Structure 1
Amino acid sequence: MNTIDQLLEASKQALNNQMIELKIADEPAFFKLMVSSGLSGVIIPALNLSHYSERFNQKAQGVIYQFMDKDLKQQRLIQKLRALFMKNEIDFIFLKGTKLKSLYKETYMRGMGDVDVLVRSDLDVIQDLFKKENIHLETRSLAHDHYHTDDGLIIEIHPSIHNDFNPKYQGYFKGAWEHVTKVSDYEYTLTPNFELVYLLYHLAKHVESSGIGLRSLLDIGIYRLHYEKEIDDVLLFKTLENINMTRFYNTVMLLNQKYFGLETKPIKEDFILSDDDYTVMTNYFVTSGIHGQGETFNPMAPRLAASTNKGKSKFRVLMRIIFPKMRDARGLFPVLNKHPYLYPFMIVYRNFKLLFLKRKSSIYKLKALNESDRNREEIINLFDKMGIY
């Protein structure tokens, strides 16, 4: 087996509660791939470390300790936020990673970057509450307010979820509070049908904007199986058809079968992927890594092929990066929310920084954009086959 096949086999065994005793031919390559794919928390606890080198064991134990330590801090923060919102009678919903963590055998197995919360409240009220708790506001945007704690944890407070998505999907995601179940006095959770579609589209968004690791695909499979009895497939099919995501859903379910051995059936029973399509998709997901941070991955490649840039020349895409729309600029410069007339000055300031203070980074991105143009059609075809568009 090659390294990718070994990684997938190790994942299957771990998810099946088996001890992993695979003979790993290239330990450094396996370790690097495991980390970049986001599967360390799943695989390492199931490894029989007596079969591997001392160096491999030391690195694996170091990674899993970091996972456990961060998870413990995040769980404490989640409880703190829950108590704070309850005390102040603020309706809230924990989103994405916080919810997905709870579906794994142990919460530390699923790494998480930040704690996302949807609230039904004035954001200035949240800011005042957090200030008293030494939770510091970093940036404000239309999509969310970004906070950090003294020990380095990140919180994103969302006034809505539809701002995270392509405007054509706003009609569906704007009504999030119409698709909730009450957990306790002020805590709610999204209904399984609605949340599955939300997670699926969020995944598609990351495929287009940066890239995803294998764990992001596993999240959807884990969620689907956990709520199998509660999901209304007839309603799900209608929803996916309405927002043109049926093929992407089928692709994700089929890949969960092939990658992880999960019994996640596509809505279309006879849905298949050719061997060539499967290989190309697998290489893309493995290379991109979590949030497009794969070592050899070009993060500009999916952006150039994204649906919002489809059909646009490389020059037009570059101009949109240099001169972002007001909506996007407000995310970069929250001051524009109150003073939109400052837009020209903020753009001059931003481009001055990119040209002189972040020169190396800007040159790298320009080169990456140029290289991306060479295989743009290839990625567009890949996205088509996945069902992204």
Structure 2
Amino acid sequence: MTDAHALAVFAVRAETSRGRLHPEPEAIGRSPFQRDRDRIIHSSAFRKLQYKTQVFVNHEGDFYRTRLTHSIEVAQIARSCARALGLDEDLTEALALAHDLGHPPFGHAGEEALAQAAAPFGGFNHNAQSLRVVTLLESRYAAFDGLNLTWETLEGLAKHNGPLPHPPAYVADYDARHPLDLGNFASAEAQLASLADDIAYHGHDIDDGLRAGLFDFGDIAHLPIVGAALADAGRASLDMPPPRLRHETIRRVINALISDLLAASRSRLAALAPGSADDIRRAKTAVIAFSAAVADANQAIRAFLFARMYRHWRVNRMTSKARRLTEELFRMFHGDPGLLPNEWRARAGEPGSARAAMIVADYIAGMTDRFAMDEHRRLTDIAISG
């Protein structure tokens, strides 16, 4: 638990939490945000992340990141930065661990396919799905659906990318029952968790891309931040083997991004001089941020990864199959909800309806890569029993 005396004045404080939608007695020895983190870690959705694609489909190799290892890396970066800025570490960690709970199988390919298939019925959004998971779909408690997380954690999940003047349907519906102040920024803890996500995937996607041979050291030498990190790593040992050079480079990239984030955020905080967490929420711009130069560098890194990794022909082949498989699962289940397992079929309603589309999207989004492929085979291979 974060020491209350070490918290900055603008940090969220556990003792003034706005509580839970369904009141519960608090746990002795654990803050409300520690309890949120523990509920997230013990959830079914969190465990499934170990078999959900980050970039490479799970069976492509044991060393590539999955949604689970990505989430753990985000949490490590976020918690370390939270301590440096005097923020509540437990809330920051909870948000980092929960931010990808709504991702469907097969990474962004699966999300794009599900969003397109569900577009006539309201679409699909993984951030909204994360909120749906923790407020509705997890069914572990007798007294309520979801995990009954604190207001502060739900606010941070809903506003993962900033204020939501036009929220997705489920976020708007939930906000009508339990207002999350969608028009303002989230807490500094939530803003930090979001940027820790950027730092983690820049680092590990370069690492995985090098490991997979999608590009080499020469290809990244021109990139801002990355090129300087590579050169500095090379100077550490003139005969360093490639695996060590890769690791030495990546840790320097992550360190450079973290150092800039902390310096830029401290500067913004000093200029705003917030006296409370609500002052952070009411600010006109985000207060946890990179400097302008590093924000531009991040865009250049992102553009490189998009062109040389996410659209590499080897990745394109995987994503093409993943999109097709996801679309076919949606079409089959939506057209005939009788194919769904009993607990899902009972909620799906009429074939082709908006209700069926929502339930089918929930079902598919909750699948791991492996289960989605197995389910597709069960539905399309007449030699396999149901």
The normalised TM-score by structure 1 is 0.23
The normalised TM-score by structure 2 is 0.24
* Greater fraction of residues in strand: 1
Compare relative contact order (CA 8 Å, sep 6+) and give the higher one, 1 or 2.
Answer: 2
